[in-house]
Structure 1
Amino acid sequence: MATVMSSVLLKLVFPPPASAVVSAVTVGSFLVLAYSGVSEMIGKHLNYSKFWNAATEKQKNKNIKVSSRVGMVLLYGPAFLAGAASFWLYPNEGLRSTLLNSAVTLHYFKRLFEVLFVHKYSGYMYLDSAIPITLSYFISAATMTYSQHLTVTEGLPQPQIDLMYPGVAVFLIGIVGNFYHHYLLSKLRGEGEKEYKIPKGGLFGLVICPHYLFEITVFYGISMISQTVYSLCFAIGTTFYLVGRSYATRKWYLSKFEDFPKNVKAVIPFIF
């Protein structure tokens, strides 16, 4: 069974580049994201969004607190710059590289746009939570584009099964779905309101975190465009983290709202 899966995988991705740095970042990113997902499930949250105030009193006294808007710009700004810089650092390297660099840059540009013009905020973010997320996004954006660059400069053989064009479609579905559900969340509160409400519309009738579901979709779309080992591992690691975050979010809603519908799952409709 393992041999069959390995054989299929080799048809779907480029061979790993001869880079110890990329290999180390691939393993490290996956382990950190997977661990973060498990931590969310057992109640050890990164302190932003609904869980910004989850730190202990001792931690609160030690940590620097910033507004959620500033914190979110810090999260996505460096990753957007890394994506934008890839066009200058790795020019004219073929359609796959151009699509990959465009997808990475567009994803983080959209996130910055939402932070500045769509989202509404009611809390804060602690820097000790913001910094590791910022580094994760920045390193992922830089490593995705660099890994793609190495497939060209090292002349690695193309995957036998080309997923680039289906990947573009999956990416676009993810980014549109993610934006739409962020927009619905922003419309829950009227002017000056800060309290949380049970989201409605879109896929909120099925899962409490459809925006996370579509963000996972975005990264699998990017992985399909890229077809590098790193992008696949990052997509899988992101799945672990966002599934864990979704589980914690559903648990939070159940604790805050007696009328929260029990049939609404965390992130995967009808399943989880």
Structure 2
Amino acid sequence: MMNSPLFFRTLLSAVVMAAVFLQPPSALAQVTENSCLQCHESQTGRLGEPVTLWRTSIHADNGIACHSCHGGDPALMSMEAMAPGRGFLGVPAETDIPDFCGRCHVGVREDYLKSAHGRALGKGGPQCVTCHGNHRVMKASPALINPQDCSRCHEYGRAGEIKGAVEETDRLIGVLEGDLADLHRAGIATKEMEGELFSLRNSFHRLFHSVEVEKVRAETARVRDDLEKIRVQVEQIQQTLFVRKVGGGIVVGLLVVAGLLAAFIRRTYHEEEA
């Protein structure tokens, strides 16, 4: 007869191994199979540097690789991968960069082109790469607004005002993202609130590109009001969980005390009988 414990251990091992090997690869793992990366990473100097920079970017974190921006065929291990017929776009001209990035960042492109920055495009004004970098694309945050970078083109005054208006709100968004992640791990349905927060975060970060102090202040106040609604919901759920946790602890404590009391009474009873 088959040894049952051994059989079930073997079956469990097989299931675990299948789960490991059949799960979809991560975004970065899929990207590393890219011929563009493999070719450029093996080179030095200016041809290899883009890969090094890209690996620390927000694009790499989200599985956005060379061909996502520059086109071409990442499956071909030959120069044919960069043929125009394969959709290769190469390096855009400076004045084309907003449209280049705007293929994905549509709303940001619109706000940028309407701003003082956008109106100065081609006249010495900044474009996406000026602030966000090219291959080491940085995550949008108030940290990108700083004296060192902004002062390359103009005085920091207005930029500093904008940063002051948005910094605390951005911090609150980060706190709420963490709180919702904790609630999700606790088994709470947070999808709707996460969607609201994601939408708020995106619309809020679009504000940075308007570079209009009064508009940023007004819209930031509106975003803060909406964030407060989410914060109240989160706090109510946290309080409910806390009450349940405390209640559960009290019940467990009472059961322990009852058990100890019962044991004490039983022991006393036996001693009296003896």
Q: By the TM > 0.5 criterion, same fold?
A: no
- Structure (1/2) with the larger helix percentage: 2
Bigger Cα Rg: 2
TM-score (norm 1): 0.24
TM-score (norm 2): 0.24
Q: Identify which of structures 1 and 2 has the higher relative contact order when contacts are C-alpha pairs closer than 8 Å and 6+ apart.
A: 1
